[in-house]
Amino acid sequence: MNIFFDVDYTILGLDDSLRPGTKETFRKLIDDGHSIYIWSGVGLRWEVVKKHQLEDLVSGVYEKPTHHHEERLEELGVDVTPEFVIDDYPELAAAFGGIWVPPYFFRRTADAQMDRIYGIISDFVATGASEDKQFRAKGTTVPLF
């Protein structure tokens, strides 16, 4: 699958640290045959890819549509179909199908979200869904108002 990760608070903390397990999880997903992309609502985040040496793991860097998600992919030059999305903003994960993750702010050893993400993706590949509460099936956006 084409797996898209958000940047701020999904793989990157407020303190500029990478969420624990990010590189190892990217590697495992690639070894399983997936491609990893990163995107951000504030633009192309090559500086993050370079600073954390993710060049060999990431197949592309894009700007993320923060509204009218699928409709805006072409306008933003996203020429790869996002098949599974991991984001701390639940609407993004639900729009494309994927995983909502609690925001990551500071490096701490207690954060095991990357292992959880890997497990949910493995469930999804095997069965087309996941029992994990953080899984969001495509198109399940619940309106806030």
Measured from the CB of residue 136, what is the shortest distance to Mg ion in angstroms? Answer: 15
SS3 state of residue 70: coil
Give yes or no for residue 69 binding Mg ion (CB under 5 A).
no
Alpha helices (runs of H) in the chain, residue ranges in sequence order: 22-31, 46-51, 90-96, 113-127
Shortest Å, Cβ 10 to Mg ion = 5
Residue 143 CB, nearest approach to Mg ion (Å): 20
Residue from 58, 62, 88, 111 binding Mg ion (CB under 5 A): 88
Least separation, in Å, of the C-beta of 4 and Mg ion?
12
Residues in contact with Mg ion, counted by CB under 5 A, come to a total of: 5
Q: 69, 65, 36, 73: which is closest to 141 by C-alpha?
A: 69
111 lines the binding site for Mg ion (CB under 5 A): no
> Is residue 8 within the footprint of Mg ion (CB under 5 A)?
yes
Q: Which are the contacts of 45, defined by CB distance < 8 A and separation ≥ 6?
A: 7, 38, 61
Amino acid (1-letter code) at residue 32: D
Compute CA distances 27 → 10, 118, 120, whole Å. 17, 11, 16
Q: Write the Ramachandran bin of 27: left for phi over 0, alpha for psi from -120 to 50, otherwise beta.
A: alpha
Instruction: Report if residue 6 touches Mg ion, rule: CB under 5 A.
Output: yes
Q: Is 105 in the site for Mg ion (CB under 5 A)?
A: no
Q: What's the closest the beta carbon of residue 134 comes to Mg ion, in angstroms?
A: 14
Q: Which residue number, 100 or 135, has a Cβ lying nearer to Mg ion?
A: 100
Binding site for Mg ion (CB under 5 A): 6, 8-10, 88
